[in-house]
Structure 1
Amino acid sequence: MAVTGELRRRRATLEHAWSRLVPALGEAGPPSDVPQALRREVTESWARSLGSVDPRQTSAPVAEDGAVHHRWASSPLRAPVRALAAELRGVADDAGFVSAVTDESGTILWTCGGTTMRRRAERVNFAPGGRWDEAAMGTNALSLALRTGRPSSVFSAEHLVTALHGWVCYCAPIHGPDGRVLGVLDLSTTWDRSHPLAMSTVRGLTSRIEAGLRDAGVNEADVRRKPDPVRLTCLGAGYADRGGSRLALPPRQVEILTLLALEPDGFSPQRLRTALYGDRPVTASTFKAEMSHLRRTLGGAVATRHYALTVPVRCDAVEVLRALERGDTDTALRRYRGPLLPGSEAPGVLEWRSHLDVAVREAVLASVRAEHALRHGERSPDDVAVHEHALALLARDDVRRGLVLGRLHRALRH
């Protein structure tokens, strides 16, 4: 096809220009004969980026605080994006795109797309937690849109990082009612699917998100306000507090809050009922009463129709999972105080309990620090493999070997 041939020629031209110009920028400054195919804003971004970004890096770095779940839960963008989520997924699926929303720093908070494109995106950490600002990931459409406050598109080798040369990205900044940039909406796909209509699609969707912000009455004070978060303790116990005061939540509502905290994208009513009750015959009025009570206790902070939290909730189970994702086994073990809601039989809780238990145990068995196996062995006295792992890591003259041997013998007798 003619269009495909044109795209191939454009890509080849940009690859050639990149190979000539980027090494020169990194050494002695730009050459005098910059190819016309390169936009000035791209070459200027390359020059700025090379001070902090290696063009050979394979993926975006992770946000330092790791608290993307809480940032998305408290973001003013969440409600209007959720209102468009079905349409965004439809656009992504139909056209072979992956869509993303960032905050004002360029950290991705939310993504959607088909399985194939999401897997490709995850290889370069185009996923929640990935940092795509210019200082972290060099020249890309997200960083240009944030820097200029205008829609931006970056094609193939216009990206500084070579791992992105197979992509084309279309972005538009999302402005709050006060004019400040709150984040960016992005549509990305492979270079051969580049299409001029993609930019108009991004612009239209961004305008609707901005309209949602206006309808919600979001202003500068709302964006800056940081309400006291709910603190949910669900490992080895089950309760919630806010501002130092315990919330009056019965066990079933703690189960609901736990599931909503672990799955920030939320639940359909039917899926949440199944996660709570399984096949038990529970009336719709009973379920709705539980939701209503939880919503009142949280000050209305549970979305209706599609159940999801609309306020930050600090959850110990989520913190353990985030620590494991970062490879921080030490923090994960400090915060893992026991199984998830140990008294619960809700199917959704049982599933997450198993997931957490396995994830923590595997991290302990993969660790080369005896302290990790010792600590976990104290909480899991019947786990033979953990005790054997501790013995393998402890020196022969370590006095703690006797403690571990005692635990191992006890576990073998059971």
Structure 2
Amino acid sequence: MHQESLETALPTGEDPRRYAHVLARVHDAALAGERPPARPRPVIDASWQRMLSRGIDPERGRGGQPLPPEELEARRRGSALADVLPLLRGRLAGVAEQTAHIMVITDAEGRVLWRDGSSSVRRNADALGFVEGMSWNEDIVGTNAIGTALVTHRPVQVYSAEHYVRSHHAWTCACAPMHDPRSGQLLGAVDLSGPAATVNATTLALVDTVAQLAESQLHAVHASDLERLRRTAAPILSKVDGRAVVTDPHGWVAASSGIAPVDRVALPTECDAGRTWLPTFGDCVVEPVPGGWLVRLLDDDATTESARPRTRVRLDLRSSRQARVEVTLPSGDWSHPLSPRHAELLFLLATHPDGRTAAQLATDVFDDPERTVTIRAEMSRLRRHLGGLLSRRPYRFSDSVDVDVLRPPDSESLLPHSISPAVRSSDGHD
């Protein structure tokens, strides 16, 4: 979005105090079902209508509780925005400190992941519940720059009584959403919030510009990831007979053999290993490779057996120092080292071939079914490396995968770092 198209909360030349008074009258009339003295801006009017239809309390919202510290940390580690956190802080945290604002970064659900800036404003935010781990989406706190930007996918500035909940009328906020350049999916938002008296029409332009810079940096990270995948792809493609491409998990092509170059392949939303039909190529066979997929185009005379290759996975847990997953495909072999947590999770999935829900895995690992956010974050990281081997809903090894678990001779040496109740109670049989 170009900055000249941004709609700021304070009209040019308008006195902030007088305008805040007008907004308060408009807010009161709208909530009372009366004819307001002026119309709110379209983005605010639409949000207010959503809040009225959902029965949000204009005095206190719906309330909520911040995430437990371990779940907040899991969301931070799993967020792609962690890659651009230094940029966001470098461009906005100092501005926030100097202008009596706080800088807030949220995930796509509106959960506050990071917060920096003025200590006095942070204390005021604490009293409002505007803290790390708290949800700031519209369904919880009503119309606000963060929640409304996440709904509209557009930069939004909200001033004073444009906030739906009255306790927020002392604030002004400017927020811009950020999207993943690989998939277009919403990642979260960056926001500058402060006392209403600090409202400035240029704040939204600044926040939007920094959000665009963050997306540009994510694009550069993606290009670097593709280059690494390209180096991996070369030896894989050299072993493949016929036409093929190697893509990242989002379908972006790293390398190809025997076909005209294309930028991206439209992979299925829930891509899995095996035979599939792709709009770009028609009948194909998809196989997992480190960091992405190998897509082999099928000739008309391809046999049914060759079109449905099996993937063999060996989960090697024999070493107490380093667990590994070893993968055998028609196109070749590869392996990947596993962290202790990922070794636990893959072991649990291997011993439950029908799959496990996030709550079941949380019980298996932590003896606490509520710690699903931590599990989802860890599984998300696992799928970045092993996406083609794993399915979701429930989490399990894909149907085209045959799994062997290589255990140490001594059952006491099986994942000795683990305190998982399910691992420790394992009787040594799959």
**When you count helix as a share of all residues, which structure comes out higher?**
1
**When you count strand as a share of all residues, which structure comes out higher?**
2
